[in-house]
Amino acid sequence: MDFSNYHIGYGITGSFCTFAQTRKAVIRLKEMGAQITPIFSYQTQTCDTRFGSAKDFVEGICNITESEGIKTIVQAEPIGPNAFLDVMVIAPCTGNTAAKLCAGIVDTPVLMAAKAHMRNGKPLVIAISTNDALGMNFKTIGQLMNMKNIYFVPFGQDNHKSKPTSMIANLDLLPDTIELALKGKQIQPILL
């Protein structure tokens, strides 16, 4: 796949345990030629966790993408009127972000970017990562699947024994999902 003619908005929300895979996915898209503008949730920018420093993660993504990124709601708003993204990705997309997106709540840079981008009728790709996918977020995921221009990276249970309601997207399938979403098609199968 060659993404050299595409500008991808890459929203990152606080599923900290997936940040290593997220970093690899960003590197892969960059190697495929994509111009990437990272968009960071407030939690991604500020929460140091056992998975690493927020500052180091954000700076690393900005270095890979050669972009300062979008870090505020005000910076994200022009995505709509300027229509400069071909596709937007939210990876990882937490259950909290998915629920707010479904309800039309815009209180983070990632959600503002998604809202602004979607007004242009262009694809939004979601890579779900939530401990409650088969619980509290089950209804939300179903509703988002039925919304126009929203596409899902295939996902499955990541640890059915100790986290039976948890599901996570397979970011190895992100480029294929993006390629099909740009053609208006959902990659199949969605459930792994």
Residue length of the chain: 192
Largest CA distance in the chain: 46
176 has a pLDDT exceeding 90:
yes
CA distance 131 to 159: 10
**pLDDT(181) > 80:** yes
Alpha carbon 70 to chain centroid distance? 14
Domain spans of the chain?
7-181
The pLDDT of residue 134: 84
- State the pLDDT confidence band at 65, using cuts at 50, 70 and 90: very high
For residues 14 and 110, is the Cβ–Cβ distance under 8 A?
A: no
User: Tens of pLDDT along 81-140?
Assistant: 999 999 999 999 999 999 999 999 999 999 999 999 999 999 999 999 987 788 888 999
pTM of the model: 0.96
Burial class (CB in 10 A: 0-12, 13-18, 19+), 21: buried
CA dist 93 → 96, 127, 174 (Å): 8, 6, 13
Per CATH, the architecture of 7-181 is what?
A: 3-Layer(aba) Sandwich (3.40)
The reported pLDDT for the residue numbered 106 is: 96
